[in-house]
Amino acid sequence: MAKRVVVDPITRIEGHLRVEAMLDDGNKIHDAMSSGTMWRGIEVILQGRDPRDAWAFCERICGVCTTVHALASVRCVENSLGIQVPPNADIIRNIMFLTQMVQDHVIHFYHLHALDWVDVVSALKANPAATAALAQKVAPNWPLGTEGYFRDMAGTLKKFVDSGQLGIFQNAYWGHPAYKLPPEANLMAVCHYLEALKWQKEIIKIHTVFGGKNPHPNYIVGGMASAISMQSDNAINMERLNLVRGQIMNAIHVVEDMYIPDLLAVASFYPEWTTIGGGLGSYLVYGDVPRNGIGDPSKFLFPRGVILDKKLDEVLPVDPADPSQIQEEIAHSWYDYPNGKTSLHPWDGITSPKYTGPKPPYKELDESKAYSWLKSPRWKGHAVEVGPLARMLVGFASGKPEFKEVVTDALGRLKVGPEALFSTLGRTAARGLESRLAARWLLDEYNRLIDNLKAGDSTTADTKFWNPVTWNAESKGYGFTEAPRGALCHWIHIKDQKIANYQIVVPSTWNASPKDGKGQHGAYEAALIGTPMADPKRPVEILRTIHSFDPCLACASHVLSPDGETLAEVIVR
């Protein structure tokens, strides 16, 4: 019988993902299962409620990518009711969106993924002078790089280790043979980990300016609740706009002078990971950052499209409203569809749980049966990957010059070809390259807003369709965005001024989905197949590939039984 490695939980945020990998005699993964072990009730809770309130519930699906569900939700309702928001609202939403993307990607690299490549305990062996020399070579424009700085930081880290309480660095595979960075690189990375931890709480001040708070900033159907008046103390004024600009400039500094240099430095020690973890080779992007309204995808800074089988010479069109394109299957999911159906478009989606798995706690799942609370979204029957790698590839394949610039630059500095993108390391690098674009676009969007204000346009919302008496008796709509983790879409059915049905398909549902009825693996599962493992008892290789997707399972499953009873209990230790 094949050896089976179980990692549960595998995420560093939202710990509701279980991975089971089956190894051959050479300790290479030949099959894998991705199981979402959590469900929630958001979609069911929304039924019967006022559509104008949906965003506030949806935004609380997750506190990590906290704005994206609100954005998709208000767009969903606006699409259903035929509302077109003012240009300033689109710009402010773009600023909120890009702020979230930059913050999330930096957090992912340093706090959720870097420790799969960086050996924290090894950093104690580093020579502070040699570390300073390395930092000057790798990141010469980052100010904190002196010998004294690294000596002090090493002393702080040593106190953690000597106390036996590693705190934020607890429960990892330190000393694993798969770690390849020299001690000085490890120390530099740990120090930047701590710098990023301090920085990330600053950039979200942009959300507090335009949305009132973070997490869960405020949105409104019809635009943004962001009153702007240059002379007022009770609205967004020039002082607050200057604060926003300062945070944007600092974000560009962090991305260009710390994140990207660290990313390329770490990647240079792991060239073999440019051939591991490629997975499906098919990618889907809804697109975002509109420049001419949400109804004109041709002007999106993140272009829309699908790439199949790594064919970068052909980008196929995507339509979230087309039932022939988007379907959610349940062949290996703990759900039930009526009349024997096995797949539905989200507008017809049904959230009816049917748990048939083993009684918890259990040692392993049966891959021939249902094994996840996640459904299996498919595009025209194809399993696809979503996320930063998908966006970079679609942008590159669409001929967008800014995408070609950052991709070509990174490949040249790493001395690898385009095929390296189809890998675990390529997926990790894509986040950094995307952050470079997002940080630059943040400044562009800010300047667009200032130009509009100087021209006398301070309108941020259109409320002429706010009153339900202006609505049709029945309507449907969808709202999409590109969350940091990938393509996100909400679908709504409004009837008699209330929500009749609401369905959400999130990035982690696309990527973490179980097999479908044709036996096609989801993106996580496919990416693990073929991965060699040095020590199955310390599965750092599994962590590297799964964490390269930045899994966040809170978004992926929103199930509650009609009567609210407990359907199963999974205790994770």
Q: How far apart (Å, rounded) are the C-alpha atoms in residues 135 and 528? A: 33
The number of residues making up the chain comes to: 573
Paired residues of 498 in beta bridges? 495
Q: Which of 485, 538, 547, 558 is catalytic?
A: 485
Q: Is 58 a catalytic residue?
A: no
Q: Which one, of 271, 260, 550, 270, lies nearest residue 419 by Cα?
A: 271
- The residue annotated as part of the active site, out of 12, 14, 343, 436, is 14
136: enclosing H helix or E strand: helix 128-138
Angle between helices 87-107 and 424-454 in degrees, nearest 10: 150
- Is the bond into 215 cis (omega within 30 degrees of 0)? yes
Q: 20, 40, 58, 65: which one is catalytic?
A: 65
**Sheet strands side by side (includes 498-505):** 474-483, 486-495, 498-505
14 in catalytic set? yes
Q: Give the Cβ contact number of residue 339 at 10 Å.
A: 4
Catalytic residue among 62, 76, 191, 489: 62
User: Catalytic pick from 226, 538, 555, 557?
Assistant: 555
Catalytic residue among 508, 513, 548, 557: 508
191 is catalytic: no
Phi, psi dihedrals of residue 313, rounded to the nearest 5°:
-95, 5
Closest C-alpha among 52, 72, 101 to residue 432: 101
Residue 39 near residue 369 (C-beta atoms within 8 A): no
Catalytic residue among 12, 16, 69, 207: 69
For residues 56 and 70, the answer to whether their CB atoms sit within 8 Å is yes
| Catalytic residue, candidates 122, 552, 557, 558 | 552
**8-state DSSP, 535:** -
Is 62 labeled as catalytic in the residue annotation? yes
How many CB atoms lie under 10 A from the CB of residue 369?
A: 12
Q: Are 374 and 36 in contact (CB under 8 A)?
A: yes
Whether 65 is a known active-site residue: answer yes
- Tell me, rounded to whole angstroms, the distance of Cα 418 from its chain centroid: 23
Separation in Å, CA 428 to CA 402, 478, 536: 19, 30, 23
Q: Is 565 a catalytic residue?
A: no
CB–CB of 445/248 below 8 Å?
A: no
What span, in angstroms and rounded, lies between the C-alpha atoms of 279 and 421?
Answer: 11
The residues annotated as belonging to the active site are 14, 62, 65, 69, 485, 508, 552, 555
